[in-house]
């Protein structure tokens, strides 16, 4: 298993099996030395709080669990090497805007994700064969998609439905990604598969049904691969952000959120897309927020409207299922967009993105200008 060097529990420190929630976070300067960190840790202990140090992307972060007060914060702020002390009021800490004001922009194999960049993830629901994956991969790449999707381990409502190609599917996805110069994303459903998925894919997808599989979240949090967390079918925004916090708490700061529709009484669509989740999650968190119009719609004709609405609402990207022969698809054929419609949709998305000061991005493009000023962000 590839372990991140930052792999330490923070700010939820697994303390004898209990999760300790941090009330303050001391952000050290990038120039701080070990002696400065030691002094802060010692002082937090003297104040009767529980310290927990961890290396962030650029600087050391020291959490303090216990009663916070303006006096304590002021005292800590004056210690050598300290940049600032943040009081975090939300139950999720490192996922919150309070902790990090600027939009997080991830660097995934040179592709920028988040901020003003709009990335379109596209591909089949499930990997079914080499020919099919490469054919669809070429179509979506040529149309402007930047990340290739394809399920190798499929979570199905029925145990008798197609369950995916497993390891062979991962091998094909890696081969296609390399040939097309597209980072890849695939779902991991079991903590025992994290190691093998990390070996072949560039981004872990956590499915809606696994959003609160806490052992799985902790396991992907111990790696250094980006984690794409789908919102559960009936999860609140806070629960969704707490799932992100599980990953961040393990030292993996590379998290992407994805709204994919929720269960309502509306039987016309597979799930009801919560477009408002985009601005709400963006207000509460610095993490990129994507939307999956395919699983929400359930029907290919509805996908473009939901996709355009999501980008108009400010989403950092979309994940769209595309198939050249959906009547033969093993999984989710009815919601797969056909190649010609996908191409036209991409052209429409580029226009809508511009209206909201975003830009549809592909690998090799120069970075777009962020709207917000970066303040020591997590360019990872």
Q: Which residues bind ligand PEP (CB under 6 A)?
A: 125, 151, 155, 207-209, 230, 260, 292, 295
Q: Cβ closer to ligand PEP: 50 or 209?
A: 209
Query: Could you tell me which residues come within 8 angstroms of residue 79 by beta carbon, excluding any fewer than 6 positions away?
Result: 36, 39, 40, 43
Q: Cβ closer to ligand PEP: 118 or 273?
A: 273
Torsion sign (Cα): 349, 353, 354, 356 = positive
For the CB of residue 60, give the shortest distance to ligand PEP in the complex, in Å. Answer: 35
Binding to Mn ion, residues 306-335 (CB under 5 A) = 332
For the CB of residue 44, give the shortest distance to Mn ion in the complex, in Å. Answer: 46
Q: Cβ closer to ligand PEP: 230 or 323?
A: 230
Name the binder of 245 from Mn ion, ligand PEP, none, CB < 5-8 A by kind: none
Counting contacts by CB under 5 A, is residue 336 touching Mn ion? no
Q: Which of 327, 310, 326 is nearest to 318 (CA)?
A: 310
Name the binder of 132 from Mn ion, ligand PEP, none, CB < 5-8 A by kind: none
Counting contacts by CB under 5 A, is residue 125 touching Mn ion? yes
Torsion sign (Cα): 191, 333, 117, 375 = negative
Q: Cβ closer to ligand PEP: 44 or 235?
A: 235
For the CB of residue 126, give the shortest distance to Mn ion in the complex, in Å. Answer: 7
Name the binder of 317 from Mn ion, ligand PEP, none, CB < 5-8 A by kind: none
For the CB of residue 77, give the shortest distance to ligand PEP in the complex, in Å. Answer: 43
Q: Which of 107, 128, 131, 132 is nearest to 117 (CA)?
A: 107
Q: Which of 206, 199, 253 is nearest to 380 (CA)?
A: 253
- Euclidean distance between CA atoms 37 and 79, whole angstroms: 10
Name the binder of 304 from ligand PEP, Mn ion, none, CB < 5-8 A by kind: none
For the CB of residue 94, give the shortest distance to Mn ion in the complex, in Å. Answer: 30
Q: Which of 320, 309, 316 is nearest to 352 (CA)?
A: 309
Query: Exposure of 94 by Cβ count < 10 A (0-12 exposed, 13-18 middle, 19+ buried)?
Result: buried
For the CB of residue 214, give the shortest distance to ligand PEP in the complex, in Å. Answer: 17
Name the binder of 253 from Mn ion, ligand PEP, none, CB < 5-8 A by kind: none
- Euclidean distance between CA atoms 185 and 193, whole angstroms: 14
**Cβ neighbours of 160 (radius 10 Å):** 6
- Euclidean distance between CA atoms 96 and 244, whole angstroms: 10
Contact 293/285 with Cβ under 8 angstroms? no
Reading the block at residue 228, the tokens are 């794409």
Q: Cβ closer to ligand PEP: 125 or 307?
A: 125
Name the binder of 207 from ligand PEP, Mn ion, none, CB < 5-8 A by kind: ligand PEP
Report the chain's C-alpha Rg in angstroms.
21
For the CB of residue 81, give the shortest distance to ligand PEP in the complex, in Å. Answer: 43
State whether residue 65 is helix, strand or coil: strand
Q: Cβ closer to ligand PEP: 134 or 162?
A: 162
Name the binder of 208 from ligand PEP, Mn ion, none, CB < 5-8 A by kind: ligand PEP
Contact 76/85 with Cβ under 8 angstroms? yes
Binding to Mn ion, residues 151-210 (CB under 5 A) = none
Q: Cβ closer to Mn ion: 60 or 330?
A: 330
- Tokens 């250094």 correspond to 224
Q: Cβ closer to ligand PEP: 149 or 254?
A: 149
Q: Which residues bind Mn ion (CB under 5 A)?
A: 125, 332
């Amino acid at each position: 298993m590839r372990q991140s060097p930052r792999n330490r529990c923070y700010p939820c420190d697994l303390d004898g099996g209990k999760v300790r929630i941090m009330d303050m976070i001391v952000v050290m300067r990038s120039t701080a030395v070990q002696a400065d960190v030691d002094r802060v840790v010692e002082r937090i202990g003297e104040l009767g709080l529980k310290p927990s140090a961890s290396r962030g992307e650029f600087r050391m972060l020291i959490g303090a669990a216990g009663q916070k007060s303006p006096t304590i914060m002021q005292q800590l702020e004056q210690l050598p090497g300290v940049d600032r002390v943040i009081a975090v009021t939300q139950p999720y800490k490192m996922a919150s805007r309070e902790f990090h004001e600027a939009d997080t922009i991830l660097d995934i194999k040179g592709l920028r994700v988040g901020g003003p960049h709009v990335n379109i993830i596209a591909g089949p629901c499930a990997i079914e064969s080499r020919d099919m994956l490469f054919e669809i991969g070429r179509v979506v790449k040529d149309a402007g998609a930047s990340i290739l999707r394809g399920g190798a381990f499929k979570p199905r409502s029925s145990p008798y439905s197609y369950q995916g190609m497993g390891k062979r599917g991962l091998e094909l996805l890696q081969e296609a990604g390399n040939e097309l110069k597209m980072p890849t994303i695939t779902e991991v459903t079991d903590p025992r598969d994290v190691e093998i998925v990390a070996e072949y894919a560039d981004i872990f997808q956590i499915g809606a049904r696994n959003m609160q599989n806490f052992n799985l979240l902790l396991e992907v949090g111990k790696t250094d691969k980006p984690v794409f967390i789908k919102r559960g079918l009936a999860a609140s925004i806070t629960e969704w952000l707490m799932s992100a916090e599980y990953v961040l708490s393990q030292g993996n700061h590379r998290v992407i959120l994805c709204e994919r529709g929720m269960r309502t009484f509306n039987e016309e669509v597979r799930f009801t897309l919560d477009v408002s989740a985009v601005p709400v999650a963006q207000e509460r968190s610095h993490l990129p927020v994507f939307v999956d119009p395919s699983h929400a719609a359930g029907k290919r004709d509805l996908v473009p409207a939901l996709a355009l609405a999501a980008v108009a609402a400010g989403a950092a990207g979309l994940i769209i299922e595309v198939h050249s022969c959906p009547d033969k698809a093993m999984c989710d054929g009815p919601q797969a967009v056909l190649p010609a419609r996908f191409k036209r949709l991409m052209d429409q998305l580029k226009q809508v993105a511009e209206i909201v000061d975003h830009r549809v991005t592909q690998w090799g493009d120069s970075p777009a200008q962020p709207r917000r000023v970066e303040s020591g962000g997590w360019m990872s």
